[in-house]
Amino acid sequence: MRIAVYPGSFDPVTKGHLDIIKRASRTFDKVYVAILTNSSKTPMFSLEKRLEWLRRSTQDIENVEIDSFSGLLVNYLNEKDSNIIIKGLRAVSDFEYEFQMALMNRKLNPNVETLFMMTSGKYSYLSSSIVKEVARHKASLDGLVPDFMIEEITELIEKKS
């Protein structure tokens, strides 16, 4: 069975992430979408909320499972019997950081392969940071995240500011 792991902060999940999840689900038998800690970012939304949004957004995709983990990505892969990390690439600007992480993960476990999938062109401008920025300024989140999340994101960000 070909098992892949798609890791990230998903703060919040965007239509760009969901595009990658769908593509990965067609390529692998099983895809774990795992919320991990990025030590250089403090999340805006709780882990519970991020899990709930991911679960609801992917409920129709049978071979996708949403999960979270607090340690190293390579240890999570080990736990799930996988050696494949899926990452989405939007632009050349993503490359340097992703390249560094891919090499570090390979150093930590030489059996691990990082596979990059190109995001659909229409999402190439999209990121969780952009979504938060747009929401902070009360502009429309239409088309950036699934419709059911829009009101909740707007309310949660309003409460925080």
Active-site annotation, residues: 17, 41, 90, 128
Neighbours of 59 (CB within 10 A): 10
12 in contact with ligand PNS (CB under 6 A): no
The conformation of residue 39, written as its DSSP 8-state character, comes to T
The CA distance from 33 to 78, in Å, is 15
Q: How many Å apart are CA 69 and CA 34, to the nearest integer?
A: 7
CB of 76 to ligand PNS, least distance (A): 8
Q: To the nearest whole angstrom, how small is the minimum distance from the Cβ of residue 61 to ligand PNS?
A: 19
- Per-residue contact string for residues 38-67; x = within reach of ligand PNS by CB under 6 A: x--x--------------------------
CB-CB neighbours of 2 under 10 Å: 10
Binding-site string for ligand PNS from residue 92 to residue 131, where x marks contact by CB under 6 A and - marks none:
---------x--xx--------------------------
